[in-house]
């Protein structure tokens, strides 16, 4: 077997080992659109291991001021991950946005050129990078596989960045989970599943896609605020 064949075999084995590890792990829950310290505490109380904090966006729910994001981050205990959702696409702008809030993770919701990731890595080596893939069709699978080599995790959502006013998340719509499954099977990094996840479909979503974690916003809210009742119902429904 030549060097190319050996490399292909190693990568295939790595992918299989990663898949086995992920399947044996408890599915994480990320609650997005956190808008106050009280909401953060409530999400953590019921079992969230990560919180999404939404910066300036062209559309969608949950946008809060960077000053408030920073206050929430400072109040969150260390074991809980904090995600800055940024619509910036230029490395310098992403870095500047991060430096206002100091989350543990940056979640980029729009397309970012591959060269920009390295600039962010150099400037912020301690920060995890998560790229959102808006799962639309087979091209989304190709995009996800390519981008996976540059970031720490992918988040598969149901937005549409091709619209005149970009949808970059928070749609409350599910997408084709078979495409998400194909992405999860093809990459060697953690995958979060988002888009219309709720108490009624979360277990089916986990069964089909087998993600590292699930991400939700609208399904645990009432009148724009987190509902303790809906949080409780969701965490009681999910089968870890």
Residue in the block written with tokens 């005149």: 164
Q: pLDDT at residue 61 above 90?
A: no
- In this prediction, residues 189-198 reach a mean pLDDT of 94
Q: Is residue 3 in a domain?
A: no
Q: Is residue 7 in a domain?
A: no
Q: Is residue 4 in a domain?
A: no
Q: pLDDT at residue 168 above 90?
A: no
Q: Is residue 13 in a domain?
A: no
For residue range 207-220, what is the model confidence (pLDDT) as tens digits? 999 999 999 998 99
Residue in the block written with tokens 């960077």: 66
Q: Are 85 and 109 in contact (CB under 8 A)?
A: yes
Q: Is residue 41 in a domain?
A: yes
Q: pLDDT at residue 153 above 50?
A: yes
Look at 8 and 59; give whichever has higher pLDDT.
59
Predicted local confidence at residue 224, as pLDDT: 84
Its domain, for residue 216, covers 27-237
| Alpha helices for the chain (secondary structure H) | 3-24, 37-46, 66-75, 91-101, 114-123, 138-147, 177-186, 202-209, 228-237
Predicted local confidence at residue 7, as pLDDT: 46
**Which residues have a Cβ under 8 Å from the Cβ of 146 and sit 6 or more positions away?**
114
Q: pLDDT at residue 238 above 80?
A: yes
Q: pLDDT at residue 163 above 90?
A: no
| Alpha helices for 162-201 (secondary structure H) | 177-186
Look at 239 and 144; give whichever has higher pLDDT.
144
Q: Report how many domains make up the chain.
A: 1
Q: Is residue 182 in a domain?
A: yes
Q: pLDDT at residue 22 above 50?
A: no
Predicted local confidence at residue 196, as pLDDT: 87
Residue in 105, 98, 68, 65 with CA at minimum distance from that of residue 83: 105
Q: pLDDT at residue 57 above 90?
A: no
- In this prediction, residues 89-95 reach a mean pLDDT of 97
Can you say whether residue 223 is alpha, beta or left, with left for phi > 0 and alpha for psi between -120 and 50 degrees?
left
Q: Is residue 197 in a domain?
A: yes
For residue range 124-139, what is the model confidence (pLDDT) as tens digits? 999 999 999 989 889 9
CATH of residue 98's domain is: 3.20.20.70
Q: Is residue 142 in a domain?
A: yes
- In this prediction, residues 85-106 reach a mean pLDDT of 97
Average predicted confidence (pLDDT) for the chain: 87
Which band of pLDDT confidence, cut at 50, 70 and 90, is reported for residue 170? low
For residue range 24-53, what is the model confidence (pLDDT) as tens digits? 558 999 999 999 999 999 999 999 999 999
- In this prediction, residues 63-90 reach a mean pLDDT of 96
Predicted local confidence at residue 26, as pLDDT: 85
- In this prediction, residues 96-123 reach a mean pLDDT of 96
């Amino acid at each position: 077997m030549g060097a190319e064949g050996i490399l292909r075999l190693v990568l295939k084995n790595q992918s299989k080992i990663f898949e086995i590890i992920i399947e044996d792990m408890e599915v994480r829950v990320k609650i997005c659109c956190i808008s106050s310290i009280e909401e953060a505490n409530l999400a953590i109380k019921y079992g969230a291991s990560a919180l999404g904090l939404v910066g300036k966006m062209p559309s969608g729910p949950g946008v809060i001021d960077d000053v408030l994001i920073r206050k929430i981050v400072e109040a969150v205990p260390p074991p809980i991950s904090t995600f800055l959702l940024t619509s910036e696409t230029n490395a310098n702008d992403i870095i500047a946005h991060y430096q206002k809030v100091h989350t543990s993770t940056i979640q980029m919701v729009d397309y970012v050129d591959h060269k920009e990731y390295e600039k962010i890595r150099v400037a912020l080596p301690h920060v995890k990078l998560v790229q959102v893939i808006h799962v639309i069709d087979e091209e989304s699978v190709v995009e996800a596989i390519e981008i996976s080599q540059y970031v720490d995790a992918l988040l598969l959502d149901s937005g549409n960045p091709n619209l005149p006013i970009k949808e970059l998340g928070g749609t409350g719509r599910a997408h084709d989970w078979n495409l998400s499954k194909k992405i999860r099977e093809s990459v060697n990094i953690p995958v979060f599943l988002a888009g219309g996840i709720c108490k009624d479909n979360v277990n089916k979503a986990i069964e089909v896609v087998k993600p590292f974690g699930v991400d939700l916003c609208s399904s645990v809210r009432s009148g724009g605020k987190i509902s303790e009742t809906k949080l409780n119902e969701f965490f009681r429904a999910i089968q870890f």
